[in-house]
Chains A and B, each alone.
Chain A
Amino acid sequence: MNPPPGPAPESSSSWKRNLAFTTLVLAAAGTVIGSLWTPAPPPAPKQHSSDEYERAPFSQAVARIDNEFADRWKERGLRPVDSADDLTILRRLTLGLAGAVPSLEEIQAIDKIPSEERVQWWLSYLFENRRTSDYLAERLARATVGVEDGPFLVYRRRRMVDWLADEIDANRPYDQLVRNLVNSEGVWTTQPEVNFITATMTKDPETGKSRPDVVRLAARTTRAFLGVRIDCVQCHDDMFGDHWKQEHFHQLAAFYAQSDVGLTGVREQKKRTYQYRFLDETNNVTVPAIAPFQPELMPATGDLRERLAAWITHPENRSFARTAVNRVWALLFNRPLIEPVDDIPLHGPFPPGMEPLADEFIRSGFDLRHLIRLIAATRTFQLDSKSSDPSRPTTETDEYHWAVFPLSRLRPDQVAGSILQASNLRTIDANAHIFHRVVRFFNERDFIKRYGDFGEDEFGEHAGTIPQRLLLMNGKMVQERTGDNMVLNASTRIGALAPDDSTAVRTAYHCVLTRDPTPKEARHFEELLGNTKGKNRNRAMADLFWTLMNSTEFSWNH
Chain B
Amino acid sequence: MRPPFDHAPCGTSDHLTRRTLLKAAGLAGISWLTPLSQLLAVEAERAPKNAPAKSVILLWLAGGPSQLETFDPHQGSKIAHGSTAITTPLKGVKLASGLPRVAELMNDISLVRSVVSKEGDHERAFYNIKTGYRINPTVVHASMGSIITHELPNSAIEIPTHVSIIPNQWPARGGYLGAQYDAFRVDDPRNSVPDLKPRVSDERHQRRLAGLDIVESQFAVGRLANLEQKRTQHRTSIDRALKMMSSDQISAFDISSAPESEKKPYGDNRFGRACLAAVRLIETGVRCVEVTLNGWDTHANNAEEHVKQNAILDPAFSALIKDLKRRNLLDSTVVLCGGEFGRTPKLNPVEGRDHWPHGFTIAMAGGGIKGGRVIGSTDPSGEKEEPEDPRAVEDLHATVFRALGIDHTRQFMTDVGRPLAFSQGKVIEELLA
Contacts and interface: CB of A to CB of B under 8 A. Distances in A.
B237 A464 contact: yes
A250 interface: no
Interface residues of B, number: 57
A463 interface: yes
B138 A232 contact: yes
Contact of A463 (B2, B224, B416): B2
Interface in A188-229: 202-203, 205, 219, 223, 229
Given A386-B221, A396-B224, A465-B179, A543 B204 contact: yes
B137 interface: yes
Interface string B166-198: 000000000000111010110000000011111
A154 to B, nearest CB: 15
B233 interface: yes
B219 interface: yes
A467 interface: yes
B199 A479 contact: yes
A528 to B, nearest CB: 7
B264 interface: no
Interface stretch (A47-55, A308-316, A519-527): A519-527
A468 interface: yes
Contacts of A365: none
Contacts of B269: 2
Interface stretch (B36-44, B81-89, B238-246, B278-286): B238-246
A185 interface: no
Interface in B127-141: 137-138, 140
Contacts of A340: 416
Contact of A543 (B178, B179, B207, B244): B207
A547 B215 contact: yes
Nearest to A467: B184
Interface string A499-536: 00000000000000000001011001100100000000
Interface string B213-226: 01110110111110
Nearest to B236: A464
B123 interface: yes
Interface residues of A, number: 63
A51 B134 CA distance: 55
B196 A551 contact: no
Max chain A C-beta neighbours (<10 A), residue from B211, B221, B237: B211
A550 B137 CA distance: 33
Contacts of A387: 222-223
A555 B233 CA distance: 12
B198 A407 contact: no
B308 to A, nearest CB: 12
A543 B182 contact: no
Contacts of A543: 200, 204, 207-208, 211
A116 interface: no
B1 interface: yes
B214 A524 contact: yes
A457 B207 contact: no
B127 to A, nearest CB: 12
Contacts of B309: none
Contacts of B140: 457
A76 interface: no
B120 interface: yes
Contact of B185 (A385, A467, A547, A551): A467
A525 B213 CA distance: 12
B270 interface: yes
B180 A465 contact: yes
Interface in B97-143: 120-121, 123, 137-138, 140
A552 B217 CA distance: 10
A407 B123 contact: no
A377 to B, nearest CB: 24
A390 B215 CA distance: 16
B179 A389 contact: no
A556 B270 contact: no
A404 to B, nearest CB: 9
A439 interface: no
A152 to B, nearest CB: 12
A387 B223 CA distance: 6
Contacts of B194: 470, 475
A497 interface: no
A551 B219 contact: yes
A474 B196 CA distance: 7
A388 to B, nearest CB: 6
B212 interface: yes
B15 interface: no
A474 B238 CA distance: 11
A467 B212 CA distance: 19
A443 B37 CA distance: 36
B211 A525 contact: yes
A79 interface: no
A411 interface: no
Interface string B391-425: 00000000000000000000000011010000000
Contacts of A174: none
Interface of A: 1-2, 148, 202-203, 205, 219, 223, 229, 231-232, 240, 340, 385-390, 393-396, 399, 407, 409, 452, 457, 460-471, 473-475, 479, 518, 520-521, 524-525, 528, 539, 542-544, 546-548, 550-553, 555-556
Given A1-B294, A407-B227, A542-B200, 15 more contacts: A229-B138, A393-B222, A461-B415, A463-B233, A464-B236, A465-B182, A466-B240, A468-B237, A474-B197, A474-B198, A539-B200, A547-B212, A548-B215, A550-B238, A551-B234
20 contacts: A2-B270, A229-B137, A386-B221, A390-B221, A393-B225, A396-B224, A407-B231, A461-B2, A461-B415, A463-B2, A466-B240, A469-B240, A473-B195, A474-B198, A520-B218, A524-B211, A528-B207, A551-B216, A551-B219, A553-B219
